[in-house]
């Protein structure tokens, strides 16, 4: 590979990481934001990033087959991840467009969405039977009885939404079982229940688009559970910047030599400044990873600059990696 090609590849990699940069902050918000309309916008933003990473991946990393996925390229996996995230955003929009009522507040004469249609409630009883806190919603004179927990959110308004409506957004490769789960997810507002459905969808999606792409759904199931638990966003410890470290050593060096050897102090100071400038220039052209990557490599035992290290840098930008696993503290834990 020529020097020009190496420089272009490094530039492409820097663009790749810059494109992925906002994804971590977006993902952090998905672990704490409960509003479905807000979540839909955040998921769309993540999908846009993955789609752009899929476009940039060949220039930044070349052919990149994923182990244990029969040679599926990482660019293809990122594109599939973007598609899954867009479908997940669609389910949040469906939740946002509907009206939801706690089961304990259901009234006779109202209506609920039941089996692809609106159904009128004939009677509603709470706490009857051997299990207290259970709501029995009786549909019509001869219809079925739906059983809910008192705090379950029940769809009581909004546009019609059926299996056929959801199926129209998928291609022929998607199984009926998977589309059924996507439909149920579009009709579910409870965050814990959504997490369970997303995990099931991820299992189906993994067979279709590979486990790497499906990890984006697994991570979003974790986010749903964090939201259900009332998680709060905790700040990360910040690594010092390269510039601040360089200035620190320059100052320390100057303080050590200037009092007793003014001539050598100037020489030492000049060398320190040259070294600091060289380090910043090398970093600027992408010949060394940043401090966060150095820290990660120390944790995983990768040798800096090795082929394994370069591939690991790309892996850390992939769905299901560090960028969608922010440091989250649940409220119940934060108070202890």
The 3-state secondary structure of 97-133 reads: HCEEEEHHHCCCCCEEECCCCEEEEEEEEECCCCCCC
Q: Tell me the β-bridge partners of 65.
A: 73
In a domain, 166, yes or no: no
How many Cβ atoms from other residues are within 10 Å of residue 326's Cβ? 21
152-188 b/e with 16+ CB inside 10 Å = b?
bbbbbebeebeeeebbeeeeeebeeebbbbbbbbbbb
In the predicted structure, residue 231 carries a pLDDT above the cut 60:
yes
pLDDT exceeds cutoff 80 at 248: no
**26 and 123 share one domain:** no
> Checking DSSP bridges between strand 231-233 and strand 145-149, what pairing results, if any?
unpaired
96 or 317: which leads in pLDDT: 96
The answer to whether 160 and 194 are in contact (CB under 8 A) is no
Residues spanned by the domain of 133: 100-157
User: What CATH number does residue 118 fall under?
Assistant: 2.30.30.30
Same domain (yes/no): 176, 136: no
Place of tokens 């409630």: 121
Co-location of 87 and 36 in the same domain: yes
Tell me which DSSP letter residue 230 carries.
T
Mean pLDDT calculated for residue range 55-70: 90
Task: Say what the pTM is.
Answer: 0.71
Together in a domain, 148 and 186: no
pLDDT > 90? residue 265: no
Q: Are residues 206 and 286 in the same domain?
A: no
| Same domain as 105, residue 92 | no
* 322 assigned to some structural domain: no
Domain shared by 144 and 282, yes or no: no
Same structural domain for residues 175 and 72? Answer: yes
Examine the domain organization and report whether 110 and 193 are in the same domain: no
Residue at 320 is within a domain:
no
**pLDDT of 242 above 60:** no
Clarify whether residues 177 and 296 are in a common domain: no
Is it the case that residue 319 has pLDDT exceeding 80? no
Total number of domains in the chain:
3
Q: Please state the rounded mean pLDDT for residues 239-267.
A: 60
pLDDT at position 289, please? Answer: 38
């Amino acid at each position: 590979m020529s020097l020009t090609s190496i420089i272009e590849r490094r530039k492409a990699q820097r663009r790749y990481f810059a494109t992925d940069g906002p994804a971590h902050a977006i993902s952090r918000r998905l672990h704490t934001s409960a509003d479905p309309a807000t979540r839909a916008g955040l998921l769309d933003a993540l999908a846009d990033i993955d789609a752009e990473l899929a476009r940039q991946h060949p220039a930044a990393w070349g052919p990149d087959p994923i182990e244990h996925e029969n040679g599926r390229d990482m660019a293809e996996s990122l594109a599939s991840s973007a598609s899954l995230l867009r479908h997940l955003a669609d389910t949040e929009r469906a939740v946002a467009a509907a009206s939801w009522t706690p089961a304990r507040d259901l009234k006779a004469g109202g209506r609920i969405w039941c089996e692809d249609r609106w159904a009128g409630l004939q009677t509603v009883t709470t706490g009857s039977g051997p299990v207290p806190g259970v709501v029995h919603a009786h549909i019509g004179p001869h219809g079925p009885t739906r059983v809910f927990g008192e705090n379950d959110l029940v769809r009581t308004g909004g546009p019609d939404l059926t299996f056929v409506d959801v199926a129209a957004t998928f291609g022929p490769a998607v199984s009926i079982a998977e589309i059924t789960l996507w439909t149920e997810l579009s009709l579910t507002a409870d965050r814990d229940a959504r997490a369970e459905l997303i995990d099931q969808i991820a299992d189906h999606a993994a067979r279709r688009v590979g486990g790497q792409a499906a990890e984006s759904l697994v991570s979003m199931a974790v986010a749903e559970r964090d939201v259900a638990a009332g998680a709060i966003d905790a700040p990360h410890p910040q690594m010092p910047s390269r510039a601040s470290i360089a200035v620190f050593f320059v100052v320390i060096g100057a303080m050590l030599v200037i009092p007793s050897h003014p001539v050598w102090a100037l020489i030492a100071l000049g060398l320190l400044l040259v070294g600091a400038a060289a380090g910043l220039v090398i970093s600027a052209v992408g010949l060394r990873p940043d401090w966060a990557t150095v820290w990660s490599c120390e944790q995983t035992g990768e040798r800096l600059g090795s082929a394994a290290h370069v591939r690991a840098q790309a892996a850390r930008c992939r769905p299901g990696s560090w960028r969608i696993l922010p440091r989250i503290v649940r409220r119940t834990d934060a108070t202890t």
